[in-house]
Amino acid sequence: MRTSPDRIDALQPNQVFVFGSNAAGAHHGGAARLAHERFGAVWGEGHGHHGQSYAVDTMSGLATIRDGVTTLLRYAAEHPELDFLVTELGCGIAGHRPEEIAPLFAGAGENVLLPRRFRALLD
C-alpha cells in the first residue's frame, strides 16, 4: 500500500492534503498553517475540502475525529480521481497517539494514503 510522504511541501494536481484543524478553522500552526498558506485551506472552515486541502476537526474530542474521518473516507470513495495524503492528524497539539487515530482509518480506500506510522499500525 502507498503511504503519504513524511513531509509534504508540494502537491500534484490530483492530490489533497489532509490535516487536523479546529472547529473554528483557525489555521494558526503546524499542518493547518501549511494547508492555509499553500494548499487552499479556508480560514474559518474547520472541516471539509477546500482547494487542495481537506480539514478534519481534531480539537473537539475523539468522537468528533471519528466522525470527521468517516466523512473523509466517504468523500474519498466518491472521488477516486483524487489522492488524499493524510498527515498524522490528531497526534500533534490535539494530543492523541497514533494508536488512537490509525484505527479510525481501517478500511480506507486505495486513494487514501496514510502516514507510515498509521499504516504500520493497521497492517
Which CATH number fits the domain that encloses residue 38? Answer: 3.40.220.10
Is residue 36 in some structural domain?
A: yes
pLDDT on residue 1: 73
Is residue 113 in some structural domain?
A: yes
pLDDT band per the 50, 70, 90 thresholds, residue 112: very high
Per the structure, the count of domains in the chain is 1
Is residue 99 in some structural domain?
A: yes
Is residue 42 in some structural domain?
A: yes
Domain that holds residue 108: 15-121
DSSP state of 20: E
Is residue 90 in some structural domain?
A: yes
Is residue 2 in some structural domain?
A: no
For the record, the C-alpha cell of 55 comes out as 480539514
Is residue 1 in some structural domain?
A: no
Write the burial class of residue 26 (CB in 10 Å: 0-12 exposed, 13-18 middle, 19+ buried).
middle
pLDDT tens string 5-48: 999 999 999 999 999 999 999 999 899 999 999 999 999 999 99
Which sign, positive or negative, has the C-alpha torsion 34, 74, 47, 23?
Answer: negative
pLDDT tens string 58-106: 999 999 999 999 999 999 999 999 999 999 999 999 999 999 999 999 9
Is residue 8 in some structural domain?
A: no
The alpha carbon torsion through 9, 113, 70, 108 (nearest 10 deg) reads 180
User: Phi and psi dihedrals of 33, rounded to 5?
Assistant: -65, -45
